Structure 1
């Protein structure tokens, strides 16, 4: 119930929809009940106007059917049988028209509520995912996150709003039916309503395990989406290694298991409906037997027209009762999906701005690492790092793979958080600076070219709202990208496909550099920006990087050591520690790890 109420909170302001919905449902229920109650005067008009029972005007205003029968008979006397029949039918048609008109209005209101809830829920979960720290995504399946945002949210909003509709309408309809039945025959109704708790108890036994199965089904679906995402992203590798059959089998196994879970859930859900219907028919048969005896023995409290109206109305009682029991079986899948969605919403960023964090507008002095340490749960990554990056200087990080270079760079924009020690930005701890203002002063170019399925213009202008064509072209020229862009089909309006697949590696990287140029940041973070390129592309990209780095503060990780020989300071990392530090000539003279790395690379390139 707690989960359901939390999910329902995303429908706020719910009163905007609930009040008109309840009013429409109230009118619908009243006239739906009236439609069935009018069967009694219709039958009276058809079969008893020529000499049947004489109806006295009831003294008790609660005797609804008595009033109907009395006025139907009076109409027959005044207008004749045909005239009375015409008037009764007009009233019935009018009642049905009103009930259906307001039923349609209530459905429109509920649909608006459903869409409103979906909008709020999906926006909340996506916004929270975007606010999570970068490290969170290293430990999560992307497909599972996509499944929660897309599929689970859809299940939640349909399940919650459908249940909400049942909660508002069906109990109200059930109450009106029962009140009318009690007014017709108190004794018979007491006997009749025993089917409702019996049916509910039996249905609860059937659907008891639905929630656990629904939760497992959502998890398996998330794994399937992960496999699909990985298969589409790595299609070249899959085919290159002849692993198509393996990937197919992997997806098929999860698909088969998901299908089996679906069959088990459907079996339980679908069993509840026929069971409740069977129980209802059984009770109607018993009531027909009991009530029929009253009619056939000429019981004064029951005539045939009243009995037929009673049976018709009691048969309708099972519809809202059945809808309520069905909703209890369906809500389990919604609650299971809802718990997965709420789990994502409740996930808190491990890195948050301090309440009194300050905003910065400029970079004036230096970035300094003081005894910085960082570790993952299973291993230490950085130990007692002391580095200074002065304004306007280039500092390069080199060392064997796994030495902690990328982790150290990720600490600067607070993608990861220092666990001990501190990073000072112009003598201010970066934990006392808002992340947004800190990152606004930095431009990043990674080894992997992160581009979006959009036009070249929009990829370069990404994050720079209001960028003009002239500004984008100027950035592209600095990045050595302008010429090849003009050669594409639509120039700057050319769509580059998923992750820039329509461009070569060097072209993608130059688009990323142009994006950094347009931002015009005082600080650059370059993470092996040329390592994945061929020699010709590397020269173009390196030339673009040199233009970008001019008069800027740069922290660079280099794969090819020849590209960073002109760096002001080269920091050599090994097993998470700074083992050497100095310029190229100084480090060569020390004949330490840096010189060995240079010699090895020169030997490989020879």
Structure 2
């Protein structure tokens, strides 16, 4: 229940919806029950041979707690004054008005609950997505993207439906049940007390049926998340799958998970659906007994027998008693799936970002002097990646990070915009410890161009303007010209308003990279981070992109990871990193003069390969 009430907190301010819902539901249920209780006097009017008996019994009932007693007095008076035909007309009009009011209030009740459902979904999905976007970059390296997508989409949908549906059932159905029971008691106390024994028996049997639903629901949500993740991977790697003729293997793998998910859902649905026929069978069994018992009393003209009209009304009302009882059963069965999904969603909401601004953190206004690594070490879990890095990057200089794969270059690059914090040591900018500054202000001083050209499924204009949404068309075009992108953009079908497709798949690798460079140019940061920005390009594209990068790096502090060492020979300082440590530093000429150095060996190896 703790999980349920916490999920319910996302419906706040719940009183905005609860008060009108309670009022409209109360009136809808009241008129709905009244519709059935009016059957007794209606049939009394229709059966002229029952007229005298009906009147005498009604007087007795009205003196107790018959909710239609006052109306029956009106019927009796009308029968005497106007006759049965006019009385029948009046009664039909009253029933029509009662049914109309019942349905009007029912509509507003459902409308209010739908508003609550949408409101809850909006708050819940917003909270989940906001928390996901606030999480540190390292979190996404350890989690399956499909699992996160499933939680934000389908799990949230299950939660909001279950929570609001249960809230609706918990108020409306017991209220309906109480009104029906009061109506039944007003007709026959003895028969009602006996017949209601079916409800606790039905509840006990159903509780046994749905006992394992929560565990199965949890497994079902996890299996669905695996399928979403697998689908995302398959769509992202469709070229590789086809290139290695792995299409059938991938289809079989997806099908296996799909079969497991489907079978699990089948078992859950079977358990859930079993509750309905059980409760319905017990209800019909009791109705059958009531028909037999009540009819025998009427036929034998017993002293405590009901009139035919009362008996028909009693059967009609009792047949409706099982409807709210059945709704409660279904809600009890379905809540397990909602709670299981809710626990997964709350687990994501409760995940705290490791990178947060400390209390009193100050914004970094400008970058004036130097960026310093002071004895910095870092590890992923138990794997140490950086060991005691000491490095000073002066403003306006170009610093290249080179070395064998897995040496720690990309990790150093991730530490600079503070995607991670060092395990030990400090990173300082203009003498300020990173931890004393706000994360946002640090990143405002930096622009990034990665090896993988990351574009959004939007127009070229909006992709360039992503770093500066308020940028004018002139500013975007100027940035594109610096990035050598303006010419090819003009030749696309809609110019700057051309959509680039999913992850930019409608553009070539070189075109995507130049769009990314234009985005960085428009941001105009004092520090540029370039992570192997040309390594995946052909020779012609590399030339255009390298020229764009040279334009980008002018008058800026640049930190470059280079795969092709020929592109960083003019760097002010080259830092050779191997096995998490700085092995050599210096200019190209200085490092080449050390014939036994790692940099010289790397250059020779690349030259030999070329």
Query: 2:216 aligned with 1:222, yes or no?
Result: no
Judge conservation of contact 2:464–2:519 (CA < 8 Å) in 1.
Answer: yes
Note closer, same or farther for the CA distance 1:474–1:302 as it changes in structure 2 (3 Å cut): same
Aligned to 1:540: 544
Judge conservation of contact 1:114–1:157 (CA < 8 Å) in 2.
Answer: yes
For the residues of structure 2 that align with 1:289 and 1:350, how far apart are their CA atoms?
Answer: 71
Of residues 293-302 and 214-223 in structure 1, the stretch that sits farther from structure 2 once superposed is 293-302
Report the 3-state secondary structure (helix = DSSP H, G, I; strand = E; otherwise coil) of the residue aligned with 2:419.
Answer: coil
Aligned to 2:81: 78
Query: 2:165 aligned with 1:162, yes or no?
Result: yes
| Segments of 4+ moved more than 6 angstroms | none
Deviations 1:297-326 (A, max 9, x none): 422463222222122111111110110011
Judge conservation of contact 2:484–2:545 (CA < 8 Å) in 1.
Answer: yes
Aligned to 2:27: 27
Of residues 246-255 and 293-302 in structure 1, the stretch that sits farther from structure 2 once superposed is 293-302
Aligned to 2:562: 558
Aligned to 2:503: 499
1:459-474 equivalent positions in 2, closer than 5 A: 459-474=463-478
Deviations 1:433-471 (A, max 9, x none): 111111011000000000011110000001312111000
Aligned residue among 103, 110, 118 for 2:113: 110
1:452-491 equivalent positions in 2, closer than 5 A: 452-491=456-495
For the residues of structure 2 that align with 1:62 and 1:521, how far apart are their CA atoms?
Answer: 81
Deviations 1:170-213 (A, max 9, x none): 11111111122222222222212111111111111111111111
Q: CA RMSD in A?
A: 1.4
1:241-260 equivalent positions in 2, closer than 5 A: 241-260=244-263
Aligned to 2:431: 427
1:24-423 equivalent positions in 2, closer than 5 A: 24-48=24-48, 51-53=51-53, 54-55=55-56, 57=59, 60=63, 62-295=65-298, 296-300=300-304, 302-423=306-427
Deviation at 1:530, TM superposition (A): 0.6
Deviation at 1:348, TM superposition (A): 0.8
Judge conservation of contact 1:65–1:306 (CA < 8 Å) in 2.
Answer: no
Deviation at 1:8, TM superposition (A): 1.1
Judge conservation of contact 2:17–2:113 (CA < 8 Å) in 1.
Answer: yes
For the residues of structure 2 that align with 1:57 and 1:312, how far apart are their CA atoms?
Answer: 22
1:514-529 equivalent positions in 2, closer than 5 A: 514-529=518-533
For the residues of structure 2 that align with 1:221 and 1:301, how far apart are their CA atoms?
Answer: 58
Of residues 240-249 and 514-523 in structure 1, the stretch that sits farther from structure 2 once superposed is 240-249
Aligned to 2:599: 594
Report the 3-state secondary structure (helix = DSSP H, G, I; strand = E; otherwise coil) of the residue aligned with 2:378.
Answer: strand
Report the 3-state secondary structure (helix = DSSP H, G, I; strand = E; otherwise coil) of the residue aligned with 2:199.
Answer: helix
Unaligned runs of at least 5 residues, structure 1: none
**How many residues are treated as equivalent by the alignment?**
605
Report the 3-state secondary structure (helix = DSSP H, G, I; strand = E; otherwise coil) of the residue aligned with 1:242.
Answer: coil
Deviations 1:207-247 (A, max 9, x none): 11111111111111111111111111111111111111111
Judge conservation of contact 2:467–2:522 (CA < 8 Å) in 1.
Answer: no
Judge conservation of contact 2:128–2:348 (CA < 8 Å) in 1.
Answer: yes
For the residues of structure 1 that align with 2:304 and 2:421, how far apart are their CA atoms?
Answer: 85
Judge conservation of contact 1:40–1:68 (CA < 8 Å) in 2.
Answer: no
For the residues of structure 2 that align with 1:604 and 1:492, how far apart are their CA atoms?
Answer: 40
Deviation at 1:129, TM superposition (A): 0.5
Report the 3-state secondary structure (helix = DSSP H, G, I; strand = E; otherwise coil) of the residue aligned with 1:181.
Answer: helix
Report the 3-state secondary structure (helix = DSSP H, G, I; strand = E; otherwise coil) of the residue aligned with 2:537.
Answer: coil
For the residues of structure 2 that align with 1:265 and 1:212, how far apart are their CA atoms?
Answer: 10
Judge conservation of contact 2:372–2:390 (CA < 8 Å) in 1.
Answer: yes
For the residues of structure 1 that align with 2:495 and 2:50, how far apart are their CA atoms?
Answer: 90
Deviations 1:35-62 (A, max 9, x none): 0110110011011467532437457362
For the residues of structure 2 that align with 1:414 and 1:486, how far apart are their CA atoms?
Answer: 37
Query: 2:416 aligned with 1:444, yes or no?
Result: no
For the residues of structure 1 that align with 2:103 and 2:159, how far apart are their CA atoms?
Answer: 28
Unaligned runs of at least 5 residues, structure 2: none
Deviations 1:472-498 (A, max 9, x none): 000000001000101111110011111
Report the 3-state secondary structure (helix = DSSP H, G, I; strand = E; otherwise coil) of the residue aligned with 1:571.
Answer: strand
Judge conservation of contact 2:50–2:307 (CA < 8 Å) in 1.
Answer: no
Judge conservation of contact 1:372–1:418 (CA < 8 Å) in 2.
Answer: yes
For the residues of structure 2 that align with 1:380 and 1:154, how far apart are their CA atoms?
Answer: 41
Judge conservation of contact 1:65–1:184 (CA < 8 Å) in 2.
Answer: no
For the residues of structure 1 that align with 2:426 and 2:288, how far apart are their CA atoms?
Answer: 80
Note closer, same or farther for the CA distance 1:303–1:66 as it changes in structure 2 (3 Å cut): farther
> TM (normalized to structure 1)?
0.98
For the residues of structure 2 that align with 1:65 and 1:319, how far apart are their CA atoms?
Answer: 22
Report the 3-state secondary structure (helix = DSSP H, G, I; strand = E; otherwise coil) of the residue aligned with 1:397.
Answer: strand
Report the 3-state secondary structure (helix = DSSP H, G, I; strand = E; otherwise coil) of the residue aligned with 1:13.
Answer: coil
